Amino acid sequence: MKRARSRKGAPGIVEVAARAEVSIATVSRAYNHPGMVRAPTRTRIERAAADLGYIRDRMAGTLHNRFSGTVGLVVPTIDNAIFAEMIEAFAQQLRGHDRTMLIAAHGYDLSLEVAIVRSLLERRIDGVVLVGFDHEEIPLSMLTQRDVPVISIWNYREDSALPCIGSDNRQAGARVTEHLIERGHRDIAFLFPEVTSNDRARDRMTGALDAAGSGGLTPPPERILTCPYDIGEAKQLARRLLAENLPSAIVCGNDIIAQGVLYACHALGLRVPRDVSIVGIGDFRGSAHLEPGLTTVRLPARRIGRLAADAIVEMSETGLPPEPFHQAVDFSFMERGSTRPIRPKA
Amino acid sequence: MKRARSRKGAPGIVEVAARAEVSIATVSRAYNHPGMVRAPTRTRIERAAADLGYIRDRMAGTLHNRFSGTVGLVVPTIDNAIFAEMIEAFAQQLRGHDRTMLIAAHGYDLSLEVAIVRSLLERRIDGVVLVGFDHEEIPLSMLTQRDVPVISIWNYREDSALPCIGSDNRQAGARVTEHLIERGHRDIAFLFPEVTSNDRARDRMTGALDAAGSGGLTPPPERILTCPYDIGEAKQLARRLLAENLPSAIVCGNDIIAQGVLYACHALGLRVPRDVSIVGIGDFRGSAHLEPGLTTVRLPARRIGRLAADAIVEMSETGLPPEPFHQAVDFSFMERGSTRPIRPKA
DNA sequence: CCGGAAAATGAAAACGTTTGCATTATTGTT
DNA sequence: AACAATAATGCAAACGTTTTCATTTTCCGG
């Protein structure tokens, strides 16, 4: 049984107006268009508000305005090193714009996204940021029907239907693979997460495999493995792979998998990079400090978060698509200790 | 210049009511008290709503109700392995209660908390969850003045002023230290994060040092170091410590520091646990899979998140303090490969 | 088939703001 | 000092719901 709490000591705009001896309209303006009210009046109002401990009710305002000052962020998961970085940067940048973040995770279950977007819409968000390009049709149409700005982040495609801010994951996958090929590696294994309904992983894998092809390599099926996003499971999978038939190098779909693989090497007494080279993708916090440091590609998570915040706020204010519509944010290749050149076997 | 977007195709309750040929009151009831409207009517309404693509505006309802269905979570940072786990569990559990999470991070700057709490209050949250016990007076009083439920999570004290759900960090600190002492370690170094305005770290350190004292140890000042929450910096700090004057064991304030220390050992060619034992606190994702596995204390992050969600929702519904007011959630000691017993030097 | 109780529905008044329009105060100009 | 022009303020009508109270409909036993 719900019991409504009494609105004990919460003064409203009316109380402030009374105390400052002005109308509520003036109080409202003092907050929303400070330039419109004379300095002395404003001071009186500020004083009154402070005395009373007034906190305005933005929800009430939202009713009249078109804007709630709240932006939705929908991610696969919060509990992920590199998303977390992006999320934090996004939230912080939003605060700078006097906006608040509503966040929800769907755990890679796209069908959950519709419920989530719906719930966001019920809260009258000013915009939504989604991760990647794989989405169901319904949530997208719900958003466009209501003219709520949407952007896709993390991945980049020059021809995406949604405005996007992110790195080209195909290139990232290609980059690390090329690095290995350039160094003379020919027997390369590929460990990627499940790619269904995950365009980032899919693009990375495509990029990696294409690069292999361009390098004259055709990795046999047993060299292409699906691996969960989890250090422990990656480690276990890698142990089997490494024990059976050691490749000369391993391309990992992300740094977490790479970390698992590296630990598997430690556990098996294999030396990295002497016995096997490892590359990751992402450059998670800590990847640089592994022993040896992980060769990987740095995805600028914080930058993407900040840019996304700026873009979605601007879109909600102008009502226009962002400029540029497709924004590629550069990644950088980080060569560290986990890879080394090999002489091709004669 | 702001340009208000037109409310293009967004039907309101009025449109639904018209199409279903009932009054708006009935539509409202169909959503909020389904039992109150006859099945055929309800079906007509649902049909109409679906046809129109109606999404209710909870903000408008909030105006009349006391509740917004939104709960605030204020954390030091989102970008932290173990908080992220808690956050995700919290958000998920909230969704189960048909609530949404507003989250904000203050980056260990408590003075920011007041701005954050204020901003939450402006959004009419139904409750706030804070991390730990170190808080400024103002945000707390703002909350109590408005009768907004608050709970503190993560840490536990049987006499805290705020209701709390968390583990006893003093005990956690003591537990890992005792483990080392029991195994014969006498020269123990302590690496803890800055403890000002961080009661969790402070309690862990207190616990660790107390345990040392009870074990007859009085660690000299050069064995007690302050270490940032960062793998790289911890690694660097540890390199110096280990090179100068090797202790037989190291107690780390959290698993991130422990990870840095472990990498420092690898880098220096020290074998763990042969040359030095390491313990952490937290049991972050991945700590089990390090080589060697990290001996640590598992703090049940997800459980805390879930319990917190349940508690804050219940408080907002009943208006009563939670039961129990002080909830200790057990941690478990995880003995793994990073520690070993030593024979005391004769 | 009726009367009365119970259940379902409707009409209208909130909720706390913002803003268009009307009104009043303040300038600056001769 | 008087007048227009302009700036500051107030009044009252939104905004999209929920809920109270009154009214109508349904249900049921006689």
Q: Model's pTM, two decimal places?
A: 0.94
CA dihedral A68, A73, A78, A82 (to 10 degrees): -130
Q: Is the separation of the CB atoms in B151 and B326 below 8 Å? A: no
Q: Is the separation of the CB atoms in A73 and A102 below 8 Å? A: yes
Q: B217 Cβ partners below 8 Å, 6+ apart?
A: B181, B186, B188
| A236 shares a domain with A175 | yes
Considering only the beta carbons, identify the residue of B2, B58, B119 that sits closest to A100.
B119
Q: Is the separation of the CB atoms in B249 and B277 below 8 Å? A: yes
Residue ranges for chain B with pLDDT beneath 50: 1-6, 346
Please give the pLDDT value at position B6. Answer: 43
Contact yes or no for B318 and A3 at CB 8 A: yes
- Count of structural domains within chain B: 3
Q: Which residues of B touch A101 (CB under 8 A)?
A: 102-104
Q: Is the separation of the CB atoms in B122 and A58 below 8 Å? A: yes
From the CA of B276 to the C1' of C1: give the distance in Å: 96
Does B62 map to a domain?
Answer: no
Closest-approach residue (CA) in chain B for A268: B291
| B160 shares a domain with B240 | no
| A237 shares a domain with A143 | no
Does A294 map to a domain?
Answer: yes
Residue B328 parent element (H or E) = strand B326-328
| Whole-Å CA distances, B204 to A82, B149, B170, B192, B229 | 28, 27, 5, 8, 14
Integer Cα distance of B215 and B212 in angstroms? 5
| B113 shares a domain with B45 | no
Does B61 map to a domain?
Answer: no
From the CA of A317 to the C1' of D5: give the distance in Å: 33
Integer Cα distance of A162 and A326 in angstroms? 8
Does B74 map to a domain?
Answer: yes
> Which residue(s) pair with B74 in the sheet?
B104, B130
Integer Cα distance of B287 and B297 in angstroms? 10
Closest-approach residue (CA) in chain A for B53: A142
CATH code of the domain containing B22: 1.10.260
Please give the pLDDT value at position B222. Answer: 95
| B156 shares a domain with B208 | no
| Whole-Å CA distances, A124 to A61, A88, A207, B54, B55 | 12, 22, 39, 13, 10
Does A344 map to a domain?
Answer: no
Sequential pLDDT tens for chain A (346 residues): 333 344 556 899 999 999 999 999 999 999 999 999 999 999 999 999 999 999 999 999 999 998 999 999 999 999 998 899 999 999 999 999 999 999 999 999 999 999 999 999 999 999 999 999 999 999 999 999 999 999 999 999 999 999 999 999 999 999 999 999 999 999 999 999 999 999 999 999 999 999 999 999 999 999 999 999 999 999 999 999 999 999 999 999 999 999 999 999 999 999 999 999 999 999 999 999 999 999 999 999 999 999 999 999 999 999 999 999 999 999 999 999 999 998 755 4
CB-strand contact B28/D, under 7 Å: yes
Q: B32 Cβ partners below 8 Å, 6+ apart?
A: none
The alpha carbon of residue A2 is apart from the nearest alpha carbon of chain B, in Å, by: 5
Does A161 map to a domain?
Answer: yes
Q: Which residues of B touch A257 (CB under 8 A)?
A: none
Contact yes or no for B232 and A286 at CB 8 A: yes
The alpha carbon of residue B213 is apart from the nearest alpha carbon of chain A, in Å, by: 34
Residues 51-70 of chain A within 7 A of strand C, judged by CB, are 54, 56-57, 60-61, 63-65
| B163 shares a domain with B121 | yes
Interface contacts (A, B; CB < 8 Å): 170
DSSP string, B101-147: EEEEE-TT-HHHHHHHHHHHHHTT-SEEEEESS---HHHHHHHHHTT
Nucleotides of strand D under 7 angstroms from a protein beta carbon? 7-12, 14-20
Q: Which residues of A63-86 are buried (b: 16+ CB within 10 A; e: fewer)?
A: eeebbbbbbbbbbbebbbbbbbbb
| A28 shares a domain with A93 | no
Contact yes or no for B290 and A146 at CB 8 A: no
Count CB-CB contacts under 10 A for residue B157: 18
Q: Which domain holds residue B101?
A: 70-168+301-330
Contact yes or no for A104 and B91 at CB 8 A: yes
DSSP string, A211-258: HHHHTT----GGGEEE--S-HHHHHHHHHHHHHHS--SEEEESSHHHH
| Whole-Å CA distances, B284 to A92, B75, B228, B258, B277 | 25, 17, 17, 11, 18
Q: HSE, CB side, 13 Å, CA atoms: give it for residue A70.
A: 29
Contact yes or no for B79 and A79 at CB 8 A: no
Q: Is the separation of the CB atoms in B128 and B270 below 8 Å? A: no
| A113 shares a domain with A80 | yes
Does A52 map to a domain?
Answer: yes
From the CA of A288 to the C1' of C16: give the distance in Å: 53
Q: Using the CA of B17, which nucleotide's C1' is the nearest one?
A: C10
From the CA of A317 to the C1' of C25: give the distance in Å: 34
CB-strand contact A37/D, under 7 Å: yes
CB-strand contact A12/C, under 7 Å: yes
| B228 shares a domain with B131 | no
| B135 shares a domain with B284 | no
Q: Which residues of B touch A91 (CB under 8 A)?
A: 78, 103-105
CB-strand contact B21/C, under 7 Å: yes
Q: Which residues of B touch A104 (CB under 8 A)?
A: 91, 95, 100-101
Last residue of a domain, one of B297, B312, B339: B297
Which of B88, B97, B316 to substitute to test the interface with A, most A CBs within 10 Å? Answer: B88
CATH code of the domain containing B75: 3.40.50.2300
For the stretch B100-149, pLDDT in tens is: 999 999 999 999 999 999 999 999 999 999 999 999 999 999 999 999 99
| B107 shares a domain with B219 | no
What residue is closest to D9 (Cα–C1')?
A26
Contact yes or no for A289 and B100 at CB 8 A: no
Does A6 map to a domain?
Answer: no
Contact yes or no for B53 and A2 at CB 8 A: no
Closest-approach residue (CA) in chain A for B71: A102
| B81 shares a domain with B30 | no
